[in-house]
Each structure stands twice: as C-alpha cells, then as structure tokens.
Amino acid sequence: MTKPVPELTIRPIESSDIETIVLIHLKAFPGFFLTFLGPKFLQEFYMSFIIDSTGRGFVATDYSGRVYGVLVGTFTLSGYFKRLLMRRGWAFCVASLTALLRRPVLLPRLLRALFYRGNPPSGNARALLSSIAVDPELQGHGVGQALMKVWLLEVKLQGMQGCYLSTDADNNQAVNKFYLKQGWRLDTAYNTPEGRRMNLYVYDFDV
C-alpha cells in the first residue's frame, strides 16, 4: 500500500533540524563520500549554511513538523569557503578523523572537499546549490520539487541570474533525470582526480 503524501511546509533550516537532516542524508546517499565521512562531518556541513550570512537552507516538513527533505546552497561563493574554514576548519578536521583513520588514502579528497569551490560555470554570477536530500520513503512524491521551487524563488529574489550544481554522472540516473525535469540544463561533464564522472547543471532565469 502506498504511503500517503503529507501536506508539505517549506521553511528555513534551524539548528534543531540538524540531527534529523543528517539522518536523512545518510539514508538518501549510502556509499557517497560525505556519508562515509560520518554524521559529525555532516553536522558541520549543514550547520555551515546556518552560520554564514550568504548560506541558505530549507527543510520540507509535514503538519507535525517532521522533516522529510532538505536543500542547502550559497548565494555568494566569493569568500564563503574561506570564512567557513577560518571559523570551523578545525571542527571539520576533527569530525572526519575517524573516517581518515579507517582510510588515510582519502585525505587528498577530503582536502579538496574542504576547499571546494563548486566548479562554477563561465558567464553570469550564479548561486551554488550544494545539496538536496529527501527521505527515501517519500522520494518521487514531490518533496524535492517543492524544495527546489522555494530555492529558485529565493535565488531570484537575491538578484542572481541563475544557479548551478554538480552531481554524479554514473549510477545516478534518477537524480540526473530529476534536474532535467525541473528545467536544469547539462552544461558540462568532467572527471574528478579519482576518476569520478560528474555532471554540471545550470539553471538560468529568463531575462
């Protein structure tokens, strides 16, 4: 029997949401790099979009307040990651220590993640959509679409020309299909130093 879809409310992230958001991320992205780094790292990651004034985050909840999905991004990349490392770099390192002790070979990849700049496309200044995660129980029921609608509206209200994101090209068909369906266009494809194939998507507003 199909679980009924709750009526959703989209609101800004609060610090009290972080624990639930991390659990959703862990369930939504098993086997992914950020998931491997563990809950403490993810807590720091999502909290960073609350701490910095240029970060934005939204959650989708039902009438009882249960969180079903999350979306985070930043409107101004310039200086965002530098400020983040200055404020919380030590916390990210401590949070990822257990994962690195298990697999020290991942240190270069972690450093690239900490200094990540989002591989911005050429052209107009755009906001970076960093992550969107939906509880697997409700994937395909419009939660991601509702979060995306609010994100795009907020980006437009900030006077941005559009936004962009990167996601895995392989074994990620549903996610790639989702972005295309929402009106994003595939800008470029590239490989990471580990050989991971990535797609870079762009969403521009009509001028």
* Per-residue pLDDT at 32 exceeds 90: no
Residue 99, CA distances (Å) to 35, 39, 102, 144, 155 in order: 10, 11, 5, 29, 34
SS3 assignment, position 32? coil
User: What is the model's pLDDT at position 20?
Assistant: 97
pLDDT beyond 90 at 184: yes
- Confirm whether 4 is domain-assigned: no
Residue 98 has pLDDT above 90, yes or no: no
Best CA proximity match to 43, nearest among 60, 26, 61: 26
Quick check: 200 and 117 in contact, CB under 8 A?
A: no
Q: Is residue 89 part of a domain?
A: yes
Contacts of 76 (CB under 8 A, 6+ apart): 54
Which strand (E) or helix (H) includes residue 178?
helix 173-181
In a domain, 49, yes or no: yes
Q: How many domains does the chain have?
A: 1
Q: Averaged over 81-93, what is the pLDDT?
A: 56
Look at residue 38 and tell me if it is in a domain.
yes
pLDDT at res. 1? 39
Lowest-confidence pick of 10-14, 30-34, 55-59, 65-69: 30-34
Residues in the chain: 207
Q: Is residue 195 in a domain?
A: yes
Residue 156 lies in a domain: yes
**Residue 21 pLDDT more than 70?**
yes
d(CA 185, CA 195): 23
List the CATH number of the domain containing 186.
Answer: 3.40.630.30
Range of the domain at 115: 9-204
Q: What mean pLDDT comes out for the span 61-87?
A: 77
Q: For 16, which DSSP code?
A: G
Q: Looking at the domain assignment, is residue 2 inside a domain?
A: no
- Residues near 16 by Cβ (< 8 Å), separated by ≥ 6? none
Give backbone dihedrals phi and psi of 184, rounded to 5 degrees, phi first.
-75, 150
